[in-house]
A and B are shown apart, each in its own frame.
Chain A
Amino acid sequence: MLDPSPRELTQNPLRKIWLPCRNGHIVQRRVCMTNCPTLIVTVGLPARGKTYISKKLTRYLNWIGVSTKEFNVGQYRRECMKIYKSFEFFSPDNEEGLKVRRQCAMAALNDVREYLSVKGGHVAVFDATNTTRERRATIVKFAEQNGFKVFFVESLCDDKDIIAQNIVQVKLGSPDYIHCNTEEAIEDFMNRIKCYESSYQSLDEILDRDLSYIKIMDVGRRYLVNRVLDHIQSRIVYYLMNIHITPRSIYLCRHGESDLNIKGRIGGDSGLSARGKEFARRLRKFIQEQNIKDLKVWTSQMKRAIQTAECLGVPYEQWKTLNEIDAGVCEEMMYEEIQEHYPLEFALRDQDKYRYRYPKGESYEDLVQRLEPVIMELERQENVLVICHQAVMRCLLAYFLDKTAEELPYLKCSLHTVLKLTPVAYEVESVFLGVDAVNTHRDKPEVRKHKCLSIDMKS
């Protein structure tokens, strides 16, 4: 039915988004990427990287704004069983074991249902072996009953070295093996895998032709993709096809201190100060010392970042999309000036720094959308140094360290400090290069009660 009465537009003061309203009330309109929730189901023998993929995918989807949560059945089992004795638990003849495992799967699915139907989640990742057709059929039925779409992610790997490496890296530290030595743990785990092997039914070209899935083979050397149904599945496939597990390091830093930094002004396109130039020189020394293989260097297209990169004496790529957040009318102002000239804007920003959009500028939320291709390419690459800006670096860091939208705008990204990220383990090493610089960080202010600032945060 077509809506008869005309609606006025009113701009949400925080997000600067125009919304229709009638009689002064904002008329809600839900716009989301996924129409119905999606259930991602992992498939594969133990030590095939299912949990690695689940966690990474969950982190990525949350970062781009799709509420996602993973449900690891192994954890449910550990809660239920309290103590892990041996691989015998997983033996296909162990009736008791089978019962417990089925219960755990059901409990997890229940939580999935609550997350997707009640709590408003968009995507749930059901992380378990799901190696039999029977188990998968149960899940498909469950999804159909609840109106969820299902997408399977199967990981196949026969490379003994990779499997051994997985076990050493991840399983030895598991709570299951806390009381075992290394040899015992490995032997037990190999036996555990054997328990699943006999009943393993891989996704089949004919029998499973109506399912939507991706088969990842040999850690990404080859993919088989079947019946991608919608946009979110297509994005998931693209992401999964771009990630890899080759060890590498990502270095994040800001440009050297700039002239506007010294003046305490935000934004703009100024050049490096004397200290900033010193930092650039130290940065060059630093990366030479690190002796990084095939390092790629990326910068934004702002003078201060390019000047920093120039000093390194190596080829670099400029990305406009790495430019600092656009502060719109507040460009080149000091925070004091903003508070004086735009007190409402200043207050709004402190209320919800992630979603707050500068007038005629951007928000952190906009920044994340803009930076998504950078993240995708960082996933594809190996050793990279990204010379960027405070807000940009916060967004990138939040992706790697799985920070929420609330935490993101307050992450500490000081000048003249290089962060070295080693993915897989997600260790962060912070290296201060010994050149003083101004502090550009503003902490989250304490909550002050203002009656007049009642903004509906959800609109």
Chain B
Amino acid sequence: MSNTQRDNGSATSAEAKKTDPRMNEKKCSWASYMTNSPTVIVMIGLPARGKTYMSKKLTRYLNWIGVPTKVFNLGVYRREAVKAYKSYDFFRHDNEEAMKIRKQCALVALHDVKSYLTEEEGQIAVFDATNTTRERRDLIQAFVKENAFKVFFVESVCDDPDVIAANILEVKVSSPDYPERHRERVMDDFLKRIECYKVTYQPLDPDDYDKELSFIKVMNVGRRFLVNRVQDYIQSKIVYYLMNIHVHSHSIYLCRHGESNHNVEGRIGGDSELSPQGKQFAHALRDFIEEHKLSDLKVWTSQLRRTIQTAEELGVPYEQWKILNEIDAGVCEEMTYEMIQKTFPEEFALRDKDKYHYRYPGGESYQDLVQRLEPVIMELEGQGNVLVICHQAVMRCLLAYFLDKSAEDLPYMKCPLHTVLKLTPVAYGCKVEMFYLNVEAVNTHRDRPLGKIPRDSDLIHRRNSYTPLSSHDQVKRPRLYSAGNQPWLPLAPTPTALMPEGRPSQESLCEGIDFDSSEVNTGCVRF
């Protein structure tokens, strides 16, 4: 997908857009075509109002549906500039020295936003900061106007002290600002920090000052919303998403159907029945559910026999969803990989080149699957405890959403038979527990082929698309500085400093645990 420079920072950028080939190009990605100008989402709210939680979740969702999105967390930039956080005094509005630093950080962050949206093929930038004053928001709006971006504000308002306290304990105590992690001291200092912001907080005023802006005000963790002037499709999707997510605790269980007869024969697709081992797994699954005493567990299956047979053994009501059906392999349905390689050698090779975008002739691609599964994700966000009995490719897509995996990694995620994954939201991410139910099954996994496969033009694009980026990619990117300005911040930031809230990078969290490795894990993996 070509990307002409749209940044010339003036009114002529609108002109440039008219001749921008990207506008005339046949955009085929179903989600991305709607956004012509890039959008900056600006978070607003006092500390501990869930801004970062919403930023990260929204970013994960947008990337999953194919809209390249990235979070820019101002706290990270501030921690870069001011190596050691001492106390809440830094945030006092009369602390001139600090105010200068904070403003400079905002400018650097905005500069990075501009680079991402104009040079790095980003579509949406989420500017995660308090942005509580009109002055700050006017600054951002000037920036946005100068670059012909769209802007959408997301304000989180909460006056429930219990919610705020819980937030502080959940995410602030482990922040790099508080290395000693002493709970009372953290709580005390953080509450004082919030007070500093309250003095100058000017909430969005929908009746007068801010009535022309596009925004959503989220009140009391989603009990109430005010939505003003939604401009386009992507803003409407963002609103719908924010209105559907919840913070209450629930767990999602993902597993595949029991081993099927086709699995045993090495055939893909089809609509075969469970093998004897598969039936055993269904029994084991029933015991598993009883063991875990899951109250009000909803069970969902696809409309293929093997998942329904699995669910039948559980003896509880279940719901059939056609959209949970396995990826349609088109002309390759019910063949073994050997047969495919023999009968359609070109197709076989193409699939290995770009497994995510590759569409089976007369069938689907992983990318199509993601689009198909979006309503499932939306429903899962709104539900309590759910067990989804599905299929390998489907499970990979769902898992990639929860674990923020990129399009490159998604088709190679390990989803073995007879293994249940339990996902529990925790802090900003998702905790994964893997339960192998001790019933043998064949291995249906094909690893990523070795060696670098060149992504060249002879790959048949059945349609163009954006490659979704996962939001944890951002730590690897070097930061750019405005031309002509000496970087006054040190040049080589350490990875931990770049992680929002100083959470250790996901690499180090997963030390020793390779989710994609060939051994089956039974440990608990924290992402």
How many residues does chain B have at the interface if contact means C-beta atoms less than 8 Å apart? 48
B243, B316, B322 — which one has the most chain A CB atoms within 10 A of its CB? B322
Q: Is the CB–CB distance between A2 and B26 below 8 Å?
A: no
CA distance A331 to B229 in the complex (A): 46
The stretch of B72-80, B220-228, B386-394, B443-451 that contacts the partner chain: B220-228
Contacts of A79 in B (CB 8 A): none
Contacts of B371 in A (CB 8 A): 320-321
Q: Which residues in window 297-312 of B have CB below 8 A to A? A: 303-305, 308-309, 312
The reply to whether the CB of B295 lies closer than 8 angstroms to some CB of chain A is no
Q: Is the CB–CB distance between B382 and A318 below 8 Å?
A: no
Q: Is the CB–CB distance between A320 and B30 below 8 Å?
A: yes
Q: Which residues in window 13-30 of A have CB below 8 A to B? A: 16-18, 20, 29
The reply to whether the CB of B385 lies closer than 8 angstroms to some CB of chain A is no
The reply to whether the CB of B13 lies closer than 8 angstroms to some CB of chain A is no
Which residue of B24, B28, B240, B313 is within 8 Å of A6 (Cβ)?
Answer: B313
Which residue of B239, B368, B463 is within 8 Å of A241 (Cβ)?
Answer: B239
Q: A222-B206, A231-B382, A234-B243 are in contact. Are A6 and B312 (CB under 8 A)?
A: yes
CA distance A127 to B227 in the complex (A): 24
Which residue of B244, B308, B314, B316 is within 8 Å of A9 (Cβ)?
Answer: B308
The reply to whether the CB of B514 lies closer than 8 angstroms to some CB of chain A is no
Contacts of B206 in A (CB 8 A): 222
The reply to whether the CB of B503 lies closer than 8 angstroms to some CB of chain A is no
The reply to whether the CB of A453 lies closer than 8 angstroms to some CB of chain B is no
Q: Is the CB–CB distance between A221 and B229 below 8 Å?
A: yes
Q: Is the CB–CB distance between B463 and A318 below 8 Å?
A: yes
Q: Is the CB–CB distance between A222 and B236 below 8 Å?
A: no
Q: Chain B, 423-461, contact with A by CB distance < 8 Å: what is the 0/1 string?
A: 000000000000000000000000000000000000000
Q: Is the CB–CB distance between A222 and B229 below 8 Å?
A: yes
Q: Is the CB–CB distance between A301 and B28 below 8 Å?
A: yes
Q: Which residues in window 35-74 of A have CB below 8 A to B? A: none
CA distance A225 to B206 in the complex (A): 14
The reply to whether the CB of B23 lies closer than 8 angstroms to some CB of chain A is yes
Q: Chain B, 15-28, contact with A by CB distance < 8 Å: what is the 0/1 string?
A: 00000000111111
CA distance A241 to B227 in the complex (A): 9
CA distance A366 to B312 in the complex (A): 24
Q: Is the CB–CB distance between B236 and A231 below 8 Å?
A: no
**Chain B min CB distance to A122 (Å):** 16
Q: Is the CB–CB distance between B319 and A31 below 8 Å?
A: yes
The reply to whether the CB of A182 lies closer than 8 angstroms to some CB of chain B is no
CA distance A227 to B222 in the complex (A): 8
The reply to whether the CB of B85 lies closer than 8 angstroms to some CB of chain A is no
Q: Is the CB–CB distance between B315 and A3 below 8 Å?
A: yes
Using CB atoms, name the residue of chain B closest to A4: B315
Contacts of B225 in A (CB 8 A): 223-226
CA distance A17 to B225 in the complex (A): 40
Q: A315-B24, A315-B26 are in contact. Are A224 and B226 (CB under 8 A)?
A: yes
Q: Chain B, 375-405, contact with A by CB distance < 8 Å: what is the 0/1 string?
A: 0000100100000000000000000000000
Q: Which residues in window 29-66 of B have CB below 8 A to A? A: 30, 33-34
The reply to whether the CB of A7 lies closer than 8 angstroms to some CB of chain B is yes
Q: Chain A, 216-243, contact with B by CB distance < 8 Å: what is the 0/1 string?
A: 0000011111111001001001100110
**Chain B min CB distance to A289 (Å):** 23
Q: Is the CB–CB distance between B379 and A231 below 8 Å?
A: yes
Which residue of A4, A222, A319, A369 is within 8 Å of B227 (Cβ)?
Answer: A222
The reply to whether the CB of A380 lies closer than 8 angstroms to some CB of chain B is yes
The reply to whether the CB of A316 lies closer than 8 angstroms to some CB of chain B is yes
Q: Is the CB–CB distance between A222 and B312 below 8 Å?
A: no
Q: Is the CB–CB distance between B382 and A7 below 8 Å?
A: no
CA distance A236 to B183 in the complex (A): 43
**Chain B min CB distance to A26 (Å):** 13
Q: Which residues in window 206-249 of B have CB below 8 A to A? A: 206, 223-230, 233, 236, 239-240, 243-244
Contacts of A315 in B (CB 8 A): 23-26
Q: Chain A, 320-357, contact with B by CB distance < 8 Å: what is the 0/1 string?
A: 11000000000100000000000000000000000000
The reply to whether the CB of A197 lies closer than 8 angstroms to some CB of chain B is no
Using CB atoms, name the residue of chain A closest to B368: A320
CA distance A11 to B304 in the complex (A): 10
Q: Is the CB–CB distance between A227 and B223 below 8 Å?
A: yes
CA distance A228 to B323 in the complex (A): 25
Q: Chain A, 259-274, contact with B by CB distance < 8 Å: what is the 0/1 string?
A: 0000000000000000
Q: Which residues in window 347-384 of B have CB below 8 A to A? A: 362, 368, 371, 379, 382
Contacts of A331 in B (CB 8 A): 362
Q: Is the CB–CB distance between A366 and B322 below 8 Å?
A: yes
Using CB atoms, name the residue of chain A closest to B227: A223
Q: Is the CB–CB distance between A226 and B224 below 8 Å?
A: yes
Q: Is the CB–CB distance between A319 and B30 below 8 Å?
A: yes
**Chain B min CB distance to A372 (Å):** 8
Interface size class of A (residues with CB under 8 A): 35 or more
Using CB atoms, name the residue of chain A closest to B311: A20
Contacts of B262 in A (CB 8 A): none
Contacts of B323 in A (CB 8 A): 369
Contacts of B243 in A (CB 8 A): 225, 228, 234, 237-238
CA distance A73 to B333 in the complex (A): 55
CA distance A4 to B283 in the complex (A): 12
Contacts of B145 in A (CB 8 A): none
Contacts of B26 in A (CB 8 A): 315-318
Q: Is the CB–CB distance between A321 and B30 below 8 Å?
A: yes
Contacts of A16 in B (CB 8 A): 303
Contacts of A114 in B (CB 8 A): none
Contacts of A318 in B (CB 8 A): 26, 28, 463
Q: Is the CB–CB distance between B462 and A301 below 8 Å?
A: yes
Q: Which residues in window 323-338 of B have CB below 8 A to A? A: 323, 333
**Chain A min CB distance to B387 (Å):** 15
**Chain B min CB distance to A279 (Å):** 21
The reply to whether the CB of A377 lies closer than 8 angstroms to some CB of chain B is yes
Which residue of B23, B33, B223, B316 is within 8 Å of A2 (Cβ)?
Answer: B316
Q: Is the CB–CB distance between B315 and A2 below 8 Å?
A: yes
Q: A222-B229, A241-B239, A320-B371 are in contact. Are A7 and B224 (CB under 8 A)?
A: no
Q: Chain A, 346-380, contact with B by CB distance < 8 Å: what is the 0/1 string?
A: 00000000000000100000100100010001001
CA distance A317 to B28 in the complex (A): 6
CA distance A301 to B463 in the complex (A): 8
Which residue of A320, A321, A380 is within 8 Å of B463 (Cβ)?
Answer: A320
**Chain B min CB distance to A244 (Å):** 10
The reply to whether the CB of B286 lies closer than 8 angstroms to some CB of chain A is yes
Contacts of B368 in A (CB 8 A): 320
Q: Is the CB–CB distance between A18 and B303 below 8 Å?
A: yes
The reply to whether the CB of B317 lies closer than 8 angstroms to some CB of chain A is yes
The reply to whether the CB of B320 lies closer than 8 angstroms to some CB of chain A is yes
Q: Which residues in window 238-253 of A have CB below 8 A to B? A: 238, 241-242
Pull 25 A–B residue pairs with CB atoms less than 8 Å apart, ordered by A.
A2-B316, A3-B315, A6-B312, A7-B312, A9-B305, A9-B308, A18-B303, A18-B320, A222-B227, A224-B224, A224-B225, A238-B236, A238-B243, A301-B28, A301-B462, A315-B26, A317-B26, A317-B28, A321-B30, A321-B371, A366-B322, A369-B323, A373-B30, A377-B34, A377-B233
Beyond the given A17-B303, A18-B304, A31-B320, please list 16 additional residue pairs across the A-B interface where CB-CB is below 8 A: A2-B314, A18-B320, A222-B226, A222-B227, A225-B226, A226-B225, A227-B223, A238-B236, A241-B230, A301-B28, A318-B28, A319-B30, A320-B30, A320-B368, A377-B34, A377-B233
List chain A positions with a Cβ less than 8 A from chain B.
2-4, 6-7, 9, 11, 16-18, 20, 29, 31, 221-228, 231, 234, 237-238, 241-242, 301, 315-321, 331, 360, 366, 369, 373, 377, 380
